[in-house]
Amino acid sequence: MSLLHLDSSANRSGESISRELTARYADRWRTAHPTATYRYRDLAADPVPPVGTGYCTLGRRVERRGGVPLGAVGVLAANADERREWALSRPLIDELRGADTVLIGAPMYNLSVPVGLKAWIDRVTFPGAYLDPETGAPLLRDTRVVVLGARGGAYGPGTPQEGNDFHTPYLRAYFVRQGVAPANLRFVNAELALADLAPQLASLRPQAARSLAAARAATERAAAEIGTSLTPGSR
Binding residues for FMN: 9, 16-18, 108-111
**Helix, strand or coil for residue 6?**
strand
- Give the number of other Cβ atoms within 10 Å of residue 128's Cβ: 19
**Helix, strand or coil for residue 225?**
coil
Whether 186 contacts 222, CB under 8 Å: yes
Question: How far from each other are the two terminal CA atoms of the chain, in whole angstroms?
Answer: 8
- Using CA atoms, how far apart are residues 205 and 194, in angstroms rounded to an integer? 9
- Using CA atoms, how far apart are residues 42 and 117, in angstroms rounded to an integer? 10
Residues of each annotated binding site: 9, 16-18, 108-111
- Using CA atoms, how far apart are residues 26 and 24, in angstroms rounded to an integer? 6
Q: What is the DSSP letter of 104?
A: E
Q: Any residues with CB less than 8 A from the CB of 82 and at least 6 apart, and which?
A: 54, 55, 57, 58
> Alpha carbon 188 to chain centroid distance?
12
Using CB atoms within 10 A of its CB, is residue 53 exposed (0-12), middle (13-18) or buried (19+)? exposed
Q: How many residues does the chain have?
A: 235
